[in-house]
Amino acid sequence: MQGRRLTAFKAGVFLLCLLPFLRLAWLTVADGLGANPIEAITRSTGAWTLYFLCITLTMTPLRRLSGWAWPLQLRRMVGLFAFFYASLHFLTFFWFDHFFDVAEMWRDVIKRPFITVGFIAFVLLIPLAATSTNRMVRRLGRNWQRLHRLIYVIAPLGVLHFWWMRAGKSDFAEPLLFAAIVAALLGMRVWWRVMRGGARRRAAD
């Protein structure tokens, strides 16, 4: 997929990625978020962060299994949308729960483990978003790929944050689904690395 077709495809994917935000904004304006709008915004932005993290992790296996090049050309954009929804999730917590009181927020982060885990995941996302430009890719060289492997830590932390958040409601269906998806996507990478190492050892014999 080249030239104008790729540009049009990227534009379409961009709009699709933006739709959850536009829907949430419309529901907010139309007073359609139910009795607890802050909880609805928190739940929606958190869930979409995990969706986009999973989609980002899917791009490399999709590329390897299909032979298509376009998944890797979308990976950074999808990853940035994960950061976008994570930022909205954090902003909702920082604004509506703590009214931009950094000291109070920090006490909450330290006191409540599920918030601690979510906060760590968000902080780790920041350098990935900050180094997503072509200029930073060139500047960092091989270190860029090493840095962006942090997503292998961020995604499980996000699932753990979601799991603990739902633990009080004894609702584990969605956390289990996310955990299974992330485990499968990371497991594929481990398997490929093991197989590649075995192939190299056989070639050296």
Element (H, E) at 128: helix 113-130
DSSP-assigned states of every residue in 83-95: HHHHHHHHHHIII
Q: Could you give the CA distance from residue 73 to residue 144 in angstroms, rounded to a whole number? A: 16
pLDDT digit string, tens, across residues 52-84 = 999 999 999 999 999 888 888 899 999 999 999
Q: Could you give the CA distance from residue 110 to residue 139 in angstroms, rounded to a whole number? A: 35
pLDDT digit string, tens, across residues 2-19 = 667 888 999 999 999 999
Say which amino acid occupies 117: V
Specify the higher pLDDT residue, 131 or 6.
Answer: 131
Please state, in angstroms and as integers, the Cα–Cα distance from residue 115 to each residue in 42, 106, 111, 120, 158, following that order.
Answer: 12, 10, 8, 9, 10
CA 145 to chain centre: 17
CA torsion through residues 86, 92, 98, 102, sign: positive
* Phi, psi (deg, nearest 5) at residue 33: -100, 5
Q: Using an 8 Å Cβ cutoff, are 171 and 43 in contact?
A: no
